[in-house]
Structure 1
Amino acid sequence: MYSLIVPVYLNEGSIGELVEALDGLRAALDSPLEVIFVVDGSPDASYTELKRRLPHAGFTSQLISHSRNFGSFAAIRTGFIAARGDYFAVMAADLQEPPELAGEFFRQLALGQHDVLIGTRESRSDPWSTRMASKVFWSAYRRLINRNIPSGGVDVFACNREFRDQLIALGESNSSLIGLLFWLGFRRGTIRYERQLRRHGKSAWTLRRKLKYMIDSVFSFSDLPIRILLLLGVFGISIAILFGLVIVLLRLTGGPVVPGYAATMITVLLFGGLNALGLGIVGAYVWRAFANTQNRPLAVVMKNEEFPGATR
């Protein structure tokens, strides 16, 4: 059986088209399809719309509701835990990734040549500003975190049961789903697709969320902040040594040595800034280590309802 996980947040307007598209996907597959909808604390009527439509859908489904918004990674993880299939795929509820892509995921996985498949955008129908923002984000992600990330980024993926089991066993908080996908390894493949124009609602993938995701990824999968701190420390020490040598040289040559207010302030501010930066970087790592020792669940499931699918 195939399991499709669909995180839902602010997707009220696309629910009708989504259910119809998944009915078409079910008819095109060679094995039964189960769809797990995870409503991640969405403030709109997404949950109500799904509960109204799913009893009449032609596929088996689960409707899970989080107690609040925990983020898309937590929603995907909840869906993976609840899924019962042999092959698993993730699909966005806004229909920007065509449902046929999930069907291709399942067909490729069933061949047994890959453990995980990454959907990478070959092109996208979004506005120019959105395309540029995405290009900058994924370019920075590749440079700072993992050079193996496709240039088009990663929004959807699929995997077999072995990969799924390893992924949900990683209970890290404040981590990066994309980083974990590439960290796990296994036999990985890519499928290119064209990202469709969003027809309903507004994307919740805001600049603030992008920055948080980037920061979480950097601190979870890179030692770049530590290396930057070391370089700044070396630079600061070099400046201090240079000032000391200048003072010694002036004394040896009989030159005037007048304690300068500007030089003193620059030195104090320089090392004060380095100390503050170092404490901030170390504190970020300590906080993440502390959060992972609390053993809090990554998401809290409030409701879980099942729908067997209408006979057609």
Structure 2
Amino acid sequence: MKYSVVIPVYRNAESIPRLVEALIGMNRALDGEMEAVFVVDGSPDQSFALLREHIERLDFPAQLLAHSRNFGSFPAIRTGLQAARGSFFGVMAADLQEPPELLVAFFRALAADECDVAIGTRNARNDPASSRLASSLFWGMYRKLVVPDMPPGGVDVFGCNTVFRDQLLALDESRSSLIALIFWLGFRRKLVGYERLVRQEGKSAWTLSKKIDYMMDSIFAFTDYPIRLLMRIGALGSAASLGVALMVAVARLVGAISVPGYAATMLAVLVLGALNLLGLDLVGTYAWRAYENSKQRPLAVVAMRVANRVG
């Protein structure tokens, strides 16, 4: 086999028949040199059972791995990349919102040695207006705070060669961002534009809370912006406090203040107390993440592995 397609699966039972058909078409387009690697990430539905039935009917190699619980889509991608046996690797979503033709374009560019990593960039998306607005805000913040050269539409899928895959898997950071790691590694990149399709089955598990957690992971793993922002706030607060202190001292000397002000004292205590709590929280977050990485726990645990007869 020459090409390995990694598909993380979570709550995708309804889209599996269409996913399998799409993979069959991809294998034909790739001259029968493809394998599929499904990673069921603790999905509570029937995704694993359905995939187990379908892979036995495939005429190309397929692996089915199941995590012991839900570890997240990025650990699932890493698990699939570790298990994949091809020379070139591509990642696609099980909901088929990214067209299968996009991965074929990745593989052709990689096989022609045009790049080490091919990245899908959204030129447009057929999603509701609220979803498009939320995505624009999310990736806009991501570009500003984490990866300045991130494409405006964001990144969900990519393909790479063996050298890039090996370097990516060597970065076993806990609570990090796989997408940011791809850009951090560098290498020769090729951006491939596409139009994101409408989700036809089920509901996305990529909720607002998960997006916020992902943004926090990306920020704390790749930038010291929160610390620098706190330093600026502290510097401005110190300058303002010094100015107010001088004003109070002068007013006291000229007799303009006869009784200390209760309101001013309370405001100073509350503002400084809030800044102290914010500073402790930010420093504690960085320290906790460093501690998490020092444990060296596996990023995911594979509980079951199945391969079809062709594989």
TM score, norm. by length of structure 1:
0.97
Structure 2 letter corresponding to 1:84: R
Structure 2 letter corresponding to 1:25: M
- Residue 220 of structure 1 and its aligned partner are, at CA, apart by 0.7
- Residue 131 of structure 1 and its aligned partner are, at CA, apart by 1.4
Aligned residue number for residue 117 of structure 1: 118
Mapped partners of 2:252, 2:95: distance in 1? 72
- Alignment check: 8 A CA contact 1:250 1:257 kept: no
- Alignment check: 8 A CA contact 1:5 1:91 kept: yes
Structure 1 letter corresponding to 2:23: L
Question: Higher mean Cα deviation, 166-175 or 226-235?
Answer: 226-235
Structure 1 letter corresponding to 2:308: F
Give a deviation string over 1:241-267, Cα, whole Å, max 9, x none: 122101221233233242110010011
Aligned residue number for residue 200 of structure 2: 199
Mapped partners of 2:155, 2:248: distance in 1? 56
Give a deviation string over 1:272-302, Cα, whole Å, max 9, x none: 0011000000010001000000111000000
Give a deviation string over 1:198-220, Cα, whole Å, max 9, x none: 10010011000000000010101
Match of 1:119, SS state, is strand
Question: Higher mean Cα deviation, 187-196 or 233-242?
Answer: 233-242
- Alignment check: 8 A CA contact 2:26 2:100 kept: yes
Gap regions ≥5 residues in structure 1:
none
Mapped partners of 1:8, 1:54: distance in 2? 14
Aligned residue number for residue 215 of structure 1: 216
Aligned residue number for residue 89 of structure 1: 90
Structure 2 letter corresponding to 1:62: Q
Structure 1 letter corresponding to 2:297: R
- Alignment check: 8 A CA contact 2:15 2:201 kept: yes
- Alignment check: 8 A CA contact 1:54 1:309 kept: no
Structure 1 letter corresponding to 2:290: A
Structure 2 letter corresponding to 1:226: I
- Residue 188 of structure 1 and its aligned partner are, at CA, apart by 0.7
Task: State the number of aligned residues.
Answer: 310
Aligned residue number for residue 149 of structure 2: 148
- After superposition, where does 1:95-244 map in structure 2 within 5 Å? 95-244=96-245
- Residue 228 of structure 1 and its aligned partner are, at CA, apart by 1.2
Aligned residue number for residue 260 of structure 1: 261
Mapped partners of 1:91, 1:25: distance in 2? 12
Mapped partners of 2:123, 2:249: distance in 1? 62
Aligned residue number for residue 10 of structure 2: 9
Structure 2 letter corresponding to 1:275: N
Match of 2:90, SS state, is strand
Mapped partners of 1:137, 1:254: distance in 2? 54
Mapped partners of 1:89, 1:200: distance in 2? 23
Structure 2 letter corresponding to 1:45: Q
Structure 2 residue 61 is the aligned partner of structure 1 residue 55? no
Give a deviation string over 1:56-111, Cα, whole Å, max 9, x none: 01221100000000001000000011011110000000011111111111001011
Give a deviation string over 1:14-44, Cα, whole Å, max 9, x none: 1111111101110111351011000000000
Give a deviation string over 1:118-177, Cα, whole Å, max 9, x none: 101111111222111111111111111111000111010000000000000001000011
- Alignment check: 8 A CA contact 2:32 2:60 kept: no
Match of 1:56, SS state, is coil
Mapped partners of 1:254, 1:55: distance in 2? 91
- Alignment check: 8 A CA contact 1:247 1:257 kept: no
Aligned residue number for residue 69 of structure 1: 70
Mapped partners of 2:180, 2:259: distance in 1? 54
Structure 2 residue 268 is the aligned partner of structure 1 residue 274? no
Gap regions ≥5 residues in structure 2:
none
Aligned residue number for residue 78 of structure 1: 79
Mapped partners of 2:137, 2:249: distance in 1? 48
Moved over 4 A (4+): none
Aligned residue number for residue 301 of structure 2: 300
Match of 2:256, SS state, is coil
- Residue 271 of structure 1 and its aligned partner are, at CA, apart by 0.9
Mapped partners of 2:19, 2:37: distance in 1? 13
